[in-house]
Amino acid sequence: MDFRDRHVVVTGGTGALGVAVVGRLLDAGAICHIPYRDERKLDRFPHRAHERVRLVATGDLADQSSVERLFEGVDRLWASIHIAGGFAMSPIADTDKTAFMAMINMNLTSCWLCCRAAVRAMGNGGGRIVNVAARHALEPRSGAGMAAYTASKSAVAALTQALAQEVAGRGILVNAVAPSIMDTPQNRQDMPKADHDAWAKVDDVAATILFLASPENRVTRGGIVPVYGRS
């Protein structure tokens, strides 16, 4: 897949999945624009010194002005990949409005605003948008005990499908991946007795994202692609 001279925004680019996505994009020649809030995370970001990485200090991605500033600094945007988000697990009786809105803002509002900014930046020139939903968006019953998270990611999936139809005539293809649990150091630490071999590997999920964001993807739009591994 050839991304040479193509500008790509990657939110959540300093996280486990984001690092894998950015690495593949750089190998394919992309210029990566990566927002960040926490300077400390950059110390562990392996691509920070790469000549085609543009690190952009931003505020909250659920804030419209912060998102607009990020995208205004990107010339000739080709793709926007929205990995940033959050997770919380609690039964509904213990989830107040503040906790619910935190999930909505981290997962849905940030995705909405980044999609909006990406569409505006792409204009009628075509491009690719890839969101990150979750397995619970496709299988909501599995979200018992984490209803706020499940609702927010289900909304990301619905947004993806509606937007894909809205902007198809402009040559913008919009899709999402829906991961189950991924094999990350944090997840291994949190679940040491799980079958880690069955979990989806971040590099494999990154490969799926890369195809959906690539010029080689000429027809797929509105897809919510399961990336479950064997879990």
CA-closest candidate to residue 25, choices 57, 55, 56, 52: 52
- Residues 54-108 pLDDT 10s: 999 998 999 999 999 999 989 999 999 999 999 999 999 999 999 999 999 999 9
The answer to whether position 2 is within a domain reads no
pTM attached to this predicted model:
0.96
User: Domain limits at 36?
Assistant: 7-226
Whole-number average pLDDT of the chain:
96
Say which CATH number the domain at 115 has. Answer: 3.40.50.720
CA-closest candidate to residue 221, choices 173, 171, 166, 176: 173
pLDDT of residue 153: 98
Q: How far apart are CA 184 and CA 83, in angstroms?
A: 15
The answer to whether position 231 is within a domain reads no
Q: How far apart are CA 8 and CA 30, in angstroms?
A: 7
User: Which residues of the chain fall short of a pLDDT of 70?
Assistant: none
**Residue 23, SS3 per DSSP:** helix
Helix and strand tally (H, E) in the chain? 9, 9
**Residue 227, SS3 per DSSP:** strand
Q: How far apart are CA 120 and CA 80, in angstroms?
A: 12
Domain count along the chain? 1
pLDDT of residue 114: 98
The answer to whether position 55 is within a domain reads yes
pLDDT of residue 230: 87
The answer to whether position 37 is within a domain reads yes
Q: How far apart are CA 208 and CA 95, in angstroms?
A: 33
Which amino acid type is present at position 103? M
The answer to whether position 171 is within a domain reads yes
pLDDT of residue 33: 98
The answer to whether position 102 is within a domain reads yes
pLDDT of residue 215: 97
